[in-house]
């Protein structure tokens, strides 16, 4: 019984670690939707691009890992800004279905581009970090790093949004887009900054995922849906809700996977999602 409890505790802690990472992954998507009112269906594929960028710079070009990661974050941030300017901006006032089709199209475009550039083989950084033993429990070091860095990223985003002029404008524009010019704010510039920030968060997420998982062109499909569901569960566009939902989801996956099979963890999490959607379609903290 004691061993059982230790493993349960390990599952709970792993769930918390996973929750931090999921919170970061969903934050950028949530931010972009909350401010610009467009869902980037291809957000996970943007993360995938970041993973390949780190791989290409570190493995193929031989850059030091930290430099490759910093450059990867910058590249995905730039990609986010370009994505807004050339893909989102033209459909900004179009029907939501057209916006979904455009960002959905980007999903396949990015998958195809990654396949052309890197092939369909699994790639990895070849970085092996030892597990951390804590009594009878053992935790993966990449997961701990991912948790700490992800929370730091979430905290930095929070400080930027609440303390800076640009961050305050980002929150303001999500409440009243039309009067922003009266404040001297160029709405499109705020959208570009928001998209770049969303891209930077995707890039940071990519750096953390690439330490744990192999890269392949379809990897976005393994965490894209869950990222999106977390945003919806928390209340699409509600960043605090997304944070709470990420940790709830992660516990279902981790503890559910402990009691049953790991795949069942996902099944339970998605079943929970469906039940919550019947009860609160606007999400747990949504409905402003």
Q: Which residues bind other proteins (CB under 8 A)?
A: 165, 168-169, 171-172, 175-176, 178-187, 288
In degrees to the nearest 10, what's the CA dihedral of 27, 32, 37, 40? -90
Task: Report the nearest approach of other proteins to the CB of residue 59 (Å).
Answer: 43
Task: Report the nearest approach of other proteins to the CB of residue 184 (Å).
Answer: 4
Task: Report the nearest approach of other proteins to the CB of residue 15 (Å).
Answer: 31
Q: Which is nearer to other proteins, 164 or 222 (CB)?
A: 164
CA dist., res. 235 & res. 134, Å (int): 36
Q: Which is nearer to other proteins, 183 or 275 (CB)?
A: 183
132-134 and 137-139: which strand pairing?
A: antiparallel
Task: Report the nearest approach of other proteins to the CB of residue 165 (Å).
Answer: 6
Q: Which is nearer to other proteins, 99 or 238 (CB)?
A: 238
Task: Report the nearest approach of other proteins to the CB of residue 170 (Å).
Answer: 11
Q: Which is nearer to other proteins, 186 or 263 (CB)?
A: 186
Q: Which is nearer to other proteins, 116 or 182 (CB)?
A: 182
Task: Report the nearest approach of other proteins to the CB of residue 97 (Å).
Answer: 25
Residue 137, φ and ψ in degrees, nearest 5: -95, 155
Task: Report the nearest approach of other proteins to the CB of residue 246 (Å).
Answer: 22
Question: Residue 132: beta bridge partners?
Answer: 139
C-alpha angle 202/204/210, rounded to 5°? Answer: 95
Q: Which is nearer to other proteins, 16 or 172 (CB)?
A: 172
Q: Which is nearer to other proteins, 176 or 263 (CB)?
A: 176
Task: Report the nearest approach of other proteins to the CB of residue 235 (Å).
Answer: 13
Are 26 and 186 within 8 A, CB to CB? Answer: no
Q: Which is nearer to other proteins, 169 or 232 (CB)?
A: 169
CA dist., res. 35 & res. 31, Å (int): 6
């Amino acid at each position: 019984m004691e061993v059982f409890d230790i493993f349960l505790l390990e599952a709970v802690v792993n769930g918390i670690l996973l929750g931090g990472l999921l919170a970061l992954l969903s934050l950028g998507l949530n931010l972009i939707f909350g401010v610009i009112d467009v869902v980037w269906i291809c957000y996970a594929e943007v993360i995938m691009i970041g993973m390949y960028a780190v791989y290409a710079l570190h493995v193929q070009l031989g850059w030091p890992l930290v430099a490759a990661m910093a450059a990867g974050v910058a590249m995905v941030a730039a990609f986010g800004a370009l994505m807004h300017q050339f893909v989102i901006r033209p459909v900004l006032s179009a029907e939501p279905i057209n916006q979904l089709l455009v960002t959905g199209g980007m999903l396949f475009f990015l998958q195809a581009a990654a396949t052309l550039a890197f092939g369909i083989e699994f790639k990895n950084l070849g970085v092996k970090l030892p597990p951390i033993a804590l009594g009878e429990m053992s935790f993966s070091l990449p997961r701990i790093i991912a948790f700490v860095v992800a929370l730091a990223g979430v905290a930095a985003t929070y400080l930027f949004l609440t303390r800076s002029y640009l961050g305050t404008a980002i929150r303001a524009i999500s409440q009243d887009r039309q009067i922003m010019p009266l404040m001297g704010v160029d709405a499109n510039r705020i959208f570009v900054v928001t998209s770049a920030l969303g891209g930077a968060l995707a890039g940071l997420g990519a750096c953390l995922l690439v330490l744990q998982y192999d890269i392949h062109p379809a990897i976005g499909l393994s965490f894209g849906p869950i990222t999106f569901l977390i945003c919806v569960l928390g209340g699409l566009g509600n960043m605090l809700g997304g944070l709470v939902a990420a940790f709830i989801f992660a516990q279902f996956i981790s503890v559910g996977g402990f009691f049953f099979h790991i795949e069942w963890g996902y099944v339970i999490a998605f079943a929970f999602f469906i039940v919550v959607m019947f009860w609160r379609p606007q999400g747990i903290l949504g409905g402003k």
